[in-house]
Every structure is written in C-alpha cells, then in structure tokens.
Structure 1
Amino acid sequence: MRRGSIASSLAALAAALTLVSQSSPANATPLGHPHKSPWTGTWEAAATGTIAQLPDQSVRNVIHTSLGGRAARIRISNRLGTAPLELGAVTVAVQETGAPKSPDAVPGSVRTVTFHGATAAAIPAGRDAVSDPVPLRVPADANLLVSLYTPHDSGPATYHRSGLQTSFLAPAGDHTADQDGTSYTRTTGSWYYLTGVDVLGAPAAGSVVTLGDSITDGSGSTSSANHRWPDRLAARLRELPPRERLGVLNAGIAGNRVLLDGTGPSALSRLDADVLSRSGVRALVVMEGINDIKGSPNQTDPAAFEAAYREIVARAHARGIRVVGGTITPYGGNGGWTTAREAVRQSVNDLIRYGGIFDAVVDFDAVVRDPAAPDRILPDYDSGDHLHFDDTGLRAMADAIDLHSLTGKDTR
C-alpha cells in the first residue's frame, strides 16, 4: 500500500486521540474483545515515578516491538506530573537495524506524530494522551525511536526508571526530526513520558499484559538485548498462526507491590491505567507479591493477597480478559529473606495454585527453584542477588507458560 493511500485510510481514525484519567476509568479507552478496536498493543512501559523535566531538550526513546502493523499510535503520559506537559514536537521512526545502542533512524522512516491534527500538544497533569494514527510500516521484533521535544519546564516528568535499554538525549533544541542521531550526545536507561505504542492491522488476535515487579521489568537481564521474560514470551507467540498470536505489553515495575503504593502505584491502583486501558487486551499474566512479603511494612496475611488477586481477576473478567496467575519465585539467600516471610510466600503460592482464583496458573516457582534448596533459585538462573534472574532463568520462566492458556484453550 502506498503511503498516500495509508494516510487516506487513516483519516477516519483521527479522533483516536484520547485523554485518559488515572483515577477515572470512565474516561479510559474502551477495551474488552479485540474485534471492537482495529488497534493492538505492541509495547508498553508503566509509569514508575517522576524525574526532573528536560526544558529545551529532546529525548529519543528506544523501544522494542512485539508485533508489527501498517500504522502506529503513541501513548504519552503526564499521569504523575503536577503541571501541563508541553510537547513541542514528537516523531516516530525505525531504528537502524542491528544498532540497538544507536540514535540513528532508518533513512526515510521518520514520521511526525500529531494530536488532533496538531504537531504540538499540552497534556494536563494526571492524564495520558493517545496520538493520531501515524502512517508507518512498523516491523515486528524491531526497535522504534520515539522522540519528544519539551520546549519549556513542565514540572516533574513522568517516566519509567528501569528501561534496561539505551535511549538518548539531545541537550539543546528540537532534534525530533533528525534522521542522523549526532545531536543525541547523552544516554539514559529510562523512558521519558512514553508509556505505549499500538499498531494497526497487526496479524494477531490481540495482546497480553504482564503485570509484575522487577522480575517482569527485567532486572538482572542483559541491557539493550530484550531478554526480559515478556520479550521471550513475545518471541514464542510470534511463532503461532496469526489467529492465536498476541502482542506482549510489559507492565512490570521494579519494586512494585500488589497491596501498597511504593515504587509506582500498587498493582491494584494501576490496573486501569496499565492493563484495562490498553488496546486489544485478551489476557493478563499476574506475577507479583514478593515486595509485599519482604518489603517494609511486611504484608503477612495471605487472605489480603487472595482478596487483591480476586479483585484483579474480577475487574479483568468484566472486560473479557483472561487472567493467568504466576507463583512467586524463591529468594532464599537474599537479604530480605526470613523463615517467617518464606512461610507467607508458600501460603500465597498455595492460594495461587489451588485457590481457584485464576483462569490458569503458571508455576514459576517450580520452574526456577533449586530442588536441593527449594527456598532458593537454581544457581544457573541466579543473577547474583538470589532474587532476580539472569537471561537463562528469564527464558525458562517464559518457556513455562502454556501459550494456549492465554487464549482460553488450555486443557488443565
């Protein structure tokens, strides 16, 4: 399809810009069954907090797609900000192939992103914005460059702290349209403002969100290599026929908790923003709870976890989303481990396995624990802190997921 005809066919979707309130699900993008929307999520990062803003600077976020499509739309967040976020310019491009640590774009791939037809936008504090459709052939399993220019100080910047991906900063001026990345002289390991990318016409049945903490966020994996367990899950799903294929949206936050706010809003608090407001969601994998058990204040009542998990499932089911529960992995040898906390972990895992809470269960604990010391990770999977996993361990976790359980065909 020629670029002009793509642009013409997207004109009817120009109303796709949606401002989403963090605290008002009624304003959220309608979800549920994927056939209700032509869009599918290909990438996500959950907002974890704020950092100093970047007045008169450009940031070039590097992200990795799970699915491809014939057009894109960009989700930008001022969810945790305190003042309107002024965007002077936004672009999206394909990163040069084989150069995950380069700010250079594939020649001819840079596209201007608009909001209600305008190249500049102001996003109110506490809100997200979804762009107009962008005519760009988005490849699957590839890196995109999403560049934003903020001309003025808009207050604290909403960001995802632990991106485990090299992104870039240009310290002066608007360089969003640059194909050559020479002006991007500084690097960052965080993603600024960007919380999602959707694609149009993906050869897939929808998407799956992975809701979790640092283990899902990828802590312990090789930076700029896309070796988080959700990345490996995406690779497995791409091998399926299109009618069974799903994009993968990683909603992991290092340090996150189920029951209490801390590093980012709790899983319960952010469910609407990070799961239910995403495009084409068919399934949700929940693997979270270790920071509640070992963090301060400790959460010691398994019944509180059960109630939280059941609430997550009920809210997801109301949108037609299947929920897979993941058991909490071992952390013996880590500084936060005690025998009392281990007993809580075992009790919560029994609820996940046998409590009938979830549509299906993936027993991550059984996959990664050391048979000789079940409260510990297998040494071959341990990143070194006895809590997080290396690339091999994260791959084992992803390989443990029954892909059919994500679409309702599991035969457990």
Structure 2
Amino acid sequence: MGRTVRVIAALGLAVLPGTTAHAAAQAARPPRAVAPALTAPAAPALRRSAWTGTWEAAPSGTAPALPGAAIRNVVHLSTGGNAVRVRLSNRLGTAPLRLGAVTVALRRAAGPDAAPGTLRTATFHGAPTITVAPGRDLLTDPVPLPVRAGADLLVTVHTPDDDGPATFHRQAMQTSYVARSGAGAAQDESGAAYTATTGSWYYVTGVDVRGSATGSVAAFGDSLTDGVGATTDADRRWPDRLAEHLRVRRVGVLNAGISGNRLLRDGTGPSGLSRLDADALDRAGVRVLVVFEGINDIINTPGPTATALTDAYRTLVARAHARGIPVVGVTLTPYRGHRLFDAAREALRQQVNTFIRTGGAFDAVADADAALRDPADPQRLLPGYDQGDHLHFNDTGLLAVADTVGRVLDHRFVGRAAGVRVLR
C-alpha cells in the first residue's frame, strides 16, 4: 500500500502515517530483493532548509489520561535549527483527543522553568487547539524558535478532558513535570505550578528542526536503545552519545527504541515490523537506519526460529532500501548471567549474529557483540559495561555502543562537502 496523506477536512491538516491498518499493510509486504553489502542506495539530497528530525520517542503503550492537567515534557535535542515543529500522537488512543494548548520553550535549567522570552504557542493550521482522531499522529505548524544542538526543549501539552488512554512512551529515563490544573500553566514560563513529576513522555513523539541540519540517523531497537541502564536525566543513552559524536556534522539522531519491544510480535509497543514506517522511515530527514533489535524475540516465549528473525531483518532492509535509506545492522550483545539465559537461546543469538555479519542483507555492520563481550567469557558482557542484570548496559557500555556505531557511520556514510562533514 502506498503512503497516503490524509486530511482533516475541517482544518486542512496533513496527518502522518501510523494507523494500525497502515502498519499492518507494511508488515505484510513480502520480502524484497535487498541490495548487497557495500552497495548502499544513494539517499536523496537534502536542502539545508529541509525539516530534519532532532528528537523522537516511539509510542510504547498507553496510560490513564490526566484530564485538566498540563504535562511539561522535557526533550533533549540532537541538532539545532531556526524553527521547530512538534509531532503529537493519539496513535494508540481509543477516543478523539482534544489538545487544549501546546507550547514549546527552551528550558532554563534542570527543572520545569522556561528560559525567559522563549515560550511559544504551537498552532495547528493557525488554530491553538485541535482534536486528534484515534490512531493518528499530526504535526504542529512551524514555530519560529532558534534552538541549538544539545538544548533541552519543554513541550507542554494541556488536555482539558478525559479522552481515554493516553499514548505515551513509558521508559523515558528523563524527568518531566505535571501541573494538575493546566488551563493556564501551559502558557506560564514559571514552573511553579508543575508540582508533580513523571518518568514518561505523554503525547509528544517527535520534534523536527528547520535550518542547517544535514539529515538524521534513526536508531531502531528495544530497551538497549531506549536507554534502560542509563543515568536518569543525564542523556547517556547510546543514541544521545552518538548525537554528540555527530554534532559537528549537524546530523540529528532519533531514538526509536522501545523497552521490551520485539521484531516479530506486538507486546510492549507494536512489533518492529509493524512500526518501522511510523517510527523510522516516515520521520523527517532520515538518511540512515540503524537496527539493533532481536534479543527480546530470542529470550521470550514463544521464541522464533532463526529463519523467522533473518527474514524479518531482510524485510526491514528491503523497506528501507525502497526509500533510498541504507541500513546498518548491529549484532546482538551477550547476556549470560541474565535470568532468561539458556544454551538454546544462546545458540540462536549466535546464528542471528552470523547472519548480521555475513548474510549480506545489511549495508554495513556495527559489531556491538565483539565490542562489549568479555574476552574471558564471550557469552557475557564485559563487567565494566554491565548495568547489573547482565543484559542492559551502564553509561560506559552505552558509550561503547555509540562509539561502535559511530565508527561505522564515519567510515561508510559520512563525507565532506563545502568544508562541513555531512551524511552522503
């Protein structure tokens, strides 16, 4: 099924893909012939004024609505620009969602206060409010607000009504703030009304920037990409560290990780196969896809066959190649010592890693397994990288993943134009 642009008739607003039907149709596509390794498709050229994704949180589930509240989501931008637009989602909701107000502002410091003079109201085809149908995402109008790479942006969403389950990203590894009476709080620079906190992001699933960015890298995965094990409020997930590595090149990095996510089965969030378009390929300015997912398929019951997983990787790659987007495959890291480790699952991990390294499906390979395993016991993480459960990484391990992926991007997908290093 081709990508369609749906329109809210009353306002003429473009609505982004992400419906269940769209995702299911994409997942049902048969595997296409994939480009062999070392022949990545040429990504289309981006003008410097094009929109580029600077931040993402893939919808992972729903939470009870907070009627009347204003939720001040704190998001960390990977690249800068002279204007922003925000992606808001009712993709997993079951009822129309009324947005009473949405504002953006630069954060003043480590809290809910906005930097003076930076708070802006986001609109929708010029209107300050909108109702979002269930199953849909939408973008705000452009908001003229200069932002720099590495800045924290406050995206405040006021929901006046109890509109049913709220689409959210559970595992933010970031503190955001809630004002219980939000009718006016969304417009306040002061954070005084934001007396409650949350460890999840509500409704906000992306931020794009317009200006000098040269494109973005989409990091697609599970809790290892989502950042479980990272220090909270420190922006040390491996996509954050990769963004630091690429910052001089003005490249954005989008974190499309969902803790607990699987490639083949819905569960914590839609399956990787069904959410690929909405959470990666449809995002603004994506030039390279990095796939680091599959360990949850292996360690959970029922487990897949090696063929089912390798076919899933081929399908992901074929769908990205159809968009002109090359794909980096990341090998699955060790987890001996974890409560779900056993010999059969480990044998499957080794089969999958052999395919990632040598199967020819991916345009390049980042060998995180080789980088993070303990040389004395290759089925285990190096202790200095282990968060403590023998599966997830600490800050040092997350940096090692970022370094491994960054070296591949530097070698394969980064060039030089007009004195500035950019994605080819």
* TM-score, scaled to structure 2: 0.88
Q: Distance in 2 between matches of 1:104 and 1:76?
A: 22
Shift of 1:400: 1.1
Equivalent positions of 1:5-404 (< 5 A) are: 17-22=14-19, 23-24=21-22, 33=44, 35=46, 38-96=50-108, 99-100=109-110, 102-174=111-183, 175-201=185-211, 203-240=212-249, 245-299=250-304, 301-401=305-405, 402-404=408-410
Aligned residue for 1:35, secondary structure, equals coil
Aligned residue for 2:291, secondary structure, equals strand
Which residue type is aligned with residue 283 of structure 1? V
Q: Do the aligned residues in 1 keep the contact of 2:333 with 2:368 (CA within 8 Å)?
A: yes
Relative distance call for 1:370 and 1:253 in structure 2 (3 A) is: same
Q: Percent of aligned pairs with the same residue?
A: 59
Over residues 145-190 of structure 1, what are the superposed CA-to-partner deviations in whole Å (9 max), with x where a residue is unaligned? 0001000011100000000000000011321111000000000000
Give unmatched runs, 5+ long, in structure 1: 1-13
Which residue type is aligned with residue 403 of structure 1? L
Relative distance call for 1:204 and 1:95 in structure 2 (3 A) is: same
Q: Do the aligned residues in 1 keep the contact of 2:169 with 2:201 (CA within 8 Å)?
A: yes
Q: Distance in 2 between matches of 1:21 and 1:289?
A: 22
Aligned residue for 2:75, secondary structure, equals strand
Which residue type is aligned with residue 343 of structure 1? A
Which residue type is aligned with residue 87 of structure 2? R
Which residue type is aligned with residue 387 of structure 2? S
Shift of 1:404: 2.7
Q: Distance in 1 between matches of 2:51 and 2:168?
A: 24
Over residues 241-269 of structure 1, what are the superposed CA-to-partner deviations in whole Å (9 max), with x where a residue is unaligned? xxxx4200000000000111111011101
Q: Distance in 2 between matches of 1:295 and 1:228?
A: 24
Shift of 1:25: 7.1
Relative distance call for 1:135 and 1:309 in structure 2 (3 A) is: same
Q: Do the aligned residues in 1 keep the contact of 2:87 with 2:207 (CA within 8 Å)?
A: yes
Relative distance call for 1:35 and 1:27 in structure 2 (3 A) is: farther
Q: Distance in 2 between matches of 1:359 and 1:204?
A: 23
Q: Distance in 2 between matches of 1:73 and 1:26?
A: 27
Shift of 1:62: 0.1
Over residues 194-229 of structure 1, what are the superposed CA-to-partner deviations in whole Å (9 max), with x where a residue is unaligned? 00000001x332001000000000000000000000
Q: Do the aligned residues in 1 keep the contact of 2:70 with 2:159 (CA within 8 Å)?
A: yes
Q: Distance in 2 between matches of 1:387 and 1:26?
A: 30
Over residues 46-67 of structure 1, what are the superposed CA-to-partner deviations in whole Å (9 max), with x where a residue is unaligned? 0000000011110000000000
Shift of 1:35: 2.5
Aligned-pair Cα RMSD in Å? 1.9
Which residue type is aligned with residue 384 of structure 1? G
Over residues 294-343 of structure 1, what are the superposed CA-to-partner deviations in whole Å (9 max), with x where a residue is unaligned? 012122x1111111101101110111111000000000000000011000
Shift of 1:15: 7.5
Relative distance call for 1:92 and 1:312 in structure 2 (3 A) is: same
Give unmatched runs, 5+ long, in structure 2: 1-10, 27-42, 416-424
Q: What number of residue pairs does the alignment pair up?
A: 384
Relative distance call for 1:362 and 1:21 in structure 2 (3 A) is: closer
Aligned residue for 1:400, secondary structure, equals helix
Shift of 1:76: 0.2
Over residues 32-56 of structure 1, what are the superposed CA-to-partner deviations in whole Å (9 max), with x where a residue is unaligned? 7352771000000000000000111
Q: Do the aligned residues in 1 keep the contact of 2:88 with 2:138 (CA within 8 Å)?
A: yes
Q: Do the aligned residues in 2 keep the contact of 1:82 with 1:155 (CA within 8 Å)?
A: yes
Over residues 62-87 of structure 1, what are the superposed CA-to-partner deviations in whole Å (9 max), with x where a residue is unaligned? 00000000000000000000001100
Shift of 1:139: 1.4
Which residue type is aligned with residue 139 of structure 1? R
Shift of 1:108: 0.4
Relative distance call for 1:325 and 1:16 in structure 2 (3 A) is: farther
